[in-house]
Amino acid sequence: MITFDAVTKRYPDGTVAVDHLSLEAPTGEITVLVGPSGCGKTTSLRMINRMIDASEGQILLDGVPVQGIDPPTLRRGIGYVIQQAGLFPHRKIVDNIATVPFLLGWDKKKARARAMELLERVGLDPAMAGRYPFQLSGGQQQRVGVARALAADPPVLLMDEPFSAVDPVVRTSLQDELLRLQAELNKTIVFVTHDIDEAIKLGDRVAVLRVGGRLAQLADPKTLLSEPADDFVREFLGRDRGIRRLQFVSTEGLRLRTDLTMREGGESEEPWTLVVSEDGRPLGWTSGSGELEPYGTFVYGRDSMRSALDAALLSPSGCSVAVDEEGRVVGVAGRQALDEALAEAADG
Ligand X SMILES: Nc1ncnc2c1ncn2[C@@H]1O[C@H](COP(=O)(O)OP(=O)(O)OP(=O)(O)O)[C@@H](O)[C@H]1O
The footprint of ligand X (CB under 6 A) covers 11, 13, 15, 17, 35, 37-43, 194
Q: Provide the residue type at 80 as one letter.
A: Y
Q: How far is the CB of 198 from ligand X (least distance, A)?
A: 13
Q: How far is the CB of 9 from ligand X (least distance, A)?
A: 8
Closer CB to ligand X, 16 or 113, in the complex: 16
Closer CB to ligand X, 43 or 286, in the complex: 43
Q: How far is the CB of 256 from ligand X (least distance, A)?
A: 44
Counting other chains too, the contacts that 229-233 makes at CB distance below 8 Å and 24 or more residues apart are 232/208, 233/208
Euclidean distance between CA atoms 61 and 63, whole angstroms: 5
Residues 6+ apart with CB under 8 A from 158: 45, 48, 49, 78, 79, 80, 81, 189, 190
Q: How far is the CB of 285 from ligand X (least distance, A)?
A: 46
Q: Which of 320, 295, 323 is nearest to 309 (CA)?
A: 320
Element (H, E) at 306: helix 305-313
Q: Which of 316, 319, 313 is nearest to 334 (CA)?
A: 319
Closer CB to ligand X, 21 or 275, in the complex: 21
Closer CB to ligand X, 83 or 182, in the complex: 83
Closer CB to ligand X, 15 or 67, in the complex: 15
Euclidean distance between CA atoms 63 and 83, whole angstroms: 29
Q: How far is the CB of 52 from ligand X (least distance, A)?
A: 8
Q: How far is the CB of 35 from ligand X (least distance, A)?
A: 6
Closer CB to ligand X, 43 or 317, in the complex: 43
Q: How far is the CB of 348 from ligand X (least distance, A)?
A: 33
The torsion defined by the Cα of 233, 236, 242 and 244, in degrees rounded to 10, comes to -120
Q: Look at residue 82 and give its three-state secondary structure.
A: strand
Q: Look at residue 189 and give its three-state secondary structure.
A: strand
Closer CB to ligand X, 35 or 162, in the complex: 35
Buried b (16+ CB within 10 A) or exposed e, 112-122: bebbbebbebb
Euclidean distance between CA atoms 278 and 340, whole angstroms: 31
CB atoms near residue 289 (< 10 Å): 7
Q: How far is the CB of 306 from ligand X (least distance, A)?
A: 27
Closer CB to ligand X, 40 or 139, in the complex: 40
Q: How far is the CB of 321 from ligand X (least distance, A)?
A: 41
Element (H, E) at 138: helix 138-150
Closer CB to ligand X, 40 or 79, in the complex: 40
| Contact between residue 217 and residue 224 where contact means Cβ atoms under 8 Å apart | yes
